[in-house]
Amino acid sequence: MNRGAVALACLVASVAVTGASHRKEEVVQPPPLQVIPAGQTLAERLAFVHAALLVRVAGPAQSRAVDISGALQRSNPGVALRPVVMVVTESDVVVLEAFKSHGAMMTGARVRIATIGGRAKWGGRDLMIRRRAPDLEAGATYLVMLRDEQEWETPMFVDDDVFRIEGGRVAAPRLARETSYAKELAGLSETDAIEHVRRASGK
């Protein structure tokens, strides 16, 4: 997350915490983890993310509030930050294949991944960050690309980087269909998509 995004995240999250006392539920719309250039190819995207995995979701998604103030303060010394609380939705997944591995994210591992958004309680207050896409579905198979940033306890994905395998074919996220790498993958059979990602990742 760059400094501009961090600053905006701090502002938005502070509103979520301090404003919740005036409403039953505070609705927050944070900035994305990153802005993805429309012309970015799959090889370029894979070079940017820390991990690219084929996964099967092991159980239902769960949302919780996370205080990222400490990590942000460590990465921005000398900057006065207000409390930064975000809501994340986490899913446990089994890695069927790691096209690009990172840390514990390797073939055969069971790992927890997350994205910004969901509903959770913090200090007796209800917080909500709207998701742009459905939660990962238990039992479903996805191609997912992740960043492992120090602000977060869990490897993170954005909705544009999740491709569900449905009926043996790749379905592109609605909001990512205009990116070059989504066009490379959308509609491919599962077998062709796996081979394409392997080549793009240099495997």
pLDDT in tens, 35-55: 677 788 999 999 999 999 999
Phi-psi region of 117 (alpha: psi -120 to 50; beta: other; left: phi over 0): left
Q: What is the pLDDT of residues 82-106, one digit of tens each?
A: 777 889 999 999 999 999 999 999 9
Bridge partners for 125 per DSSP: 122
Residues counted in the chain:
203
Q: Shortest CA distance to 87 belongs to which of 53, 115, 114, 64?
A: 64
Q: Where are the domains of the chain?
A: 3-201
The CA distances from residue 175 to 2, 7, 26, 49, 186, in Å, are: 22, 25, 25, 18, 12
pTM over 0.85, yes/no: no
Contact of 133 with 118, CB cutoff 8 Å:
no
The architecture of the domain spanning 3-201 is Beta Barrel (2.40)
